[in-house]
Each structure stands twice: as C-alpha cells, then as structure tokens.
Structure 1
Amino acid sequence: MDIWFVHGLTGSRETMWTHSNGTFAPNLMRTQFPSARVTSYSYDANIVGLWENAIGEGLRGYGKALAYAIANSQLNETKRPLFFIAHSLGGLVTEQALLVCLEPNEPCLCEIVACTAGIVFLGTQHSGSYLAMWGYTLARLLRVLCVQELELLC
C-alpha cells in the first residue's frame, strides 16, 4: 500500500507531521506497516504563494501536481492501494487531485481513483471557512483598487 501525507496551510512536509518530541508521523507508519510506501508530499502552502497561485490554477493546480506525483510514483508497478492523511488545506488539495483524476482528458490518472482505499481528513473545511470568505472579499476589493490605480495612471 501507499500512504500519502498531505500537509495544510503554512505547513511543510516535515513540520506538519513532526511532534514536539521529534517523532515524525510518516516514520511511525513505516514501523506499523513495513511493506507500505510512505510519502510526505510537499507543495507551496504559504499564504503569499496561495494568493500568487490563485491567479493561475489555484487548488486545482495543486491537486493536479499531487495527482501526477502519485502517478509518477506508480510507474511500471503493480497498482497499490492508496491511503491519504490530509490536514486542513491538504484535504482540499487531495480532493482536487481525485477530481482531476476523474477528468476525461486525464486517462492516465484514472487508476488513482480506483486504487484509493481511504482518506483521513484532519481539520479540512470542506464547505469553506468564514475567514476564507473574508479573504476572498479582501482580494476582490484589492483587485478593484489596483485596477482603479492603474486607470488613474493612464
């Protein structure tokens, strides 16, 4: 089996899963499931990076990158059951990865959904959060202000 840890907002593949006593959760999984392949996946989860990426593909882009990382890890191998442990934003990234895998223009990824045996969501706001709504409103306001500034300069 493959176990993928996907960290949350402002986390990293090391810090999110390391206890204050130094215990690294993916290593615990390796001792409990010696035949499992355990991966702690990393993506740019700092707030500035998220706003910059929002101009591009946003969460979908992060999900697509995760989907391809999984596909690349399984090249030329027998398909193995997949388990995800995802925290906060990492849960949304995992959801997006699976949605990308279902798209008809991504046939090489469809096996990932078929192999997914379980997902543990830790603190994932599936319906969005109250603070996210304020962030979205602020981003729209800043966009309007920036456009008006540019129009004044022209």
Structure 2
Amino acid sequence: MNLRHVTLLFVLLAGSTDVFAQPQKVTVTCGKKISLEFTSRNEVHEIKIRMDAGDKLQFKVTPTGDYLNVRAEITDPAGGHIYPTGDGFNEPMFEEKLRFLEVTTGQLSARGEYTIKLFNCPSLYPSYSKAGEYSFVATCFKKDGTVVGN
C-alpha cells in the first residue's frame, strides 16, 4: 500500500466517525458567572471547581438562543463519576427540551478539584451537535450552611 492509499484510507475512516475536539478548560469559583462558546461539532468544555467534603454543588447552564442543548458529566477529584447517576443517559435538555440545564449534587465526599464536562451533543447521537454561546454559574452550599453565589 503506498502513501496515497494510506492517506485516502485515513481520510475515509476519519470522516466516518464522530471524534470529540480537545476540551476547552476553565477554572471557576463559586458565584462567578462566565460565558463560553461551542464553536465546532462534538466539543467538550471542562470546568474545574474546588470544593470541600460535605459541600453541595449546584450549577446552571443557560444557552443563548433556541438551538444549543448541553449535556453534563461531573467527576470527583479522583476521577470517579458522580453525575449523571444510574444508566448515564440523563440528558434533560435533549429529552425534555428544557431551555437551561441545572444540576445539584448530593453532599460531596472529597475535598479537591471537581470537573464538570459540558458537551454540545447527546451521548447517543453526536451528529446532533450544534455550536452556540452559553452562560455558566455555580452556587456552592458549604457544609456549615453558608451559600456562596446565590
């Protein structure tokens, strides 16, 4: 097989799969509202936030316009998956046509940096991916009862 055939084969294979772009990474603090934008298909944004054991995290993602939907996953400091729970296909913006996504965790078990991954496509249908802007804000419920960012 010559180089031309290898290149053609690569192009054909690459065009037939949905590959996620390299994640855009941002660190946030409780109460700070930020704006981000998905600019390509199958994009992932990683939002990092430091939390203490016993705290609860709530975040809200509000897309601009009517077409962007967002799916979320949360992992703990060790990389353990904490949201969505159950079968892993809890995608309310795609299933229920909500205009925002709001997630509240239970009481967190570990202190450290939590990762919120936001995707601009449903897990089962990456071809439904869309570009668009959105706002993100996190509210932290500290274990002592203090609310930061509400």
Q: Structure 1 length as normaliser, TM-score?
A: 0.28
| Structure showing the higher strand proportion among its residues | 2
